[in-house]
Amino acid sequence: MRGGDVFYRERTWAPAWVMVLLLTVCVAAAGAVAYDLYRSGWGGDGSISMLGAVAAMGASLGLPVLIGMLFSRLDVEVHADRVHIAFGPLHLIRKRIPFTEIDAVRGLTYRPLREFGGWGIRPRGGKTAWTIRGNQAVKVTLHSGKQVYVGSRFPQRLEERIRTAMRAATAG
């Protein structure tokens, strides 16, 4: 087996209310910029160029869209030699945990608000959570003692797939 083989893949989307909130912010920001541009001359004497107006609208829309693209979903993959965790469709924000660094794995229910202050990439002491919703994860304990909580809708299945892939990597 090659390191690129995927034994397990899980995709968890951000809650719908988060996406609605981002869309609302995007529309409100675009409306505010359009109104401000209109009041400052875009709609009358032409003191603001069309290029400036388009740039301002792009900036007001760009940040919420970028946030949505980066944090719309959490992808977790178990490969032949590692666990791969990534946010968004482009996987620009990602973490790879080689099996050689893993000491233990355990599926669990936890309290993301109390233990980490919420969802996302949340470091707290020697622990870091990579979650997007819910209260279930697989706790991956590294040889260094650090712990990585990997958000999952099916933590027992993810734990079992990691264990199976680790055994296969050791045997092969």
pLDDT in tens, 114-136: 999 999 999 999 999 999 999 99
Does 91 lie in the same domain as 55? no
Q: What is the pLDDT of residue 23?
A: 78
Identify the burial level of 141 via C-beta atoms within 10 angstroms of its C-beta, where 0-12 means exposed, 13-18 middle and 19 or more buried.
middle
SS3 12: strand
CA separation for the pair 116, 110 (Å, rounded): 10
Please report where in the chains the tokens 């107006």 appear, as a residue.
53
Q: What is the pLDDT of residue 3?
A: 43
Positions in the chain short of pLDDT 70: 1-4, 41-53
> In the 8-state DSSP scheme, what is residue 7?
E
Does 50 lie in the same domain as 20? yes
* CATH number of the domain to which 87 belongs: 2.30.29.30
Which residue range forms the structural domain that includes residue 51?
A: 14-70
Q: Which of 24, 42, 70 is the last residue of a domain?
A: 70
In a domain, 1, yes or no: no
Q: What is the pLDDT of residue 1?
A: 33
Q: Round to the nearest angstrom and report the end-to-end CA distance of the chain.
A: 8
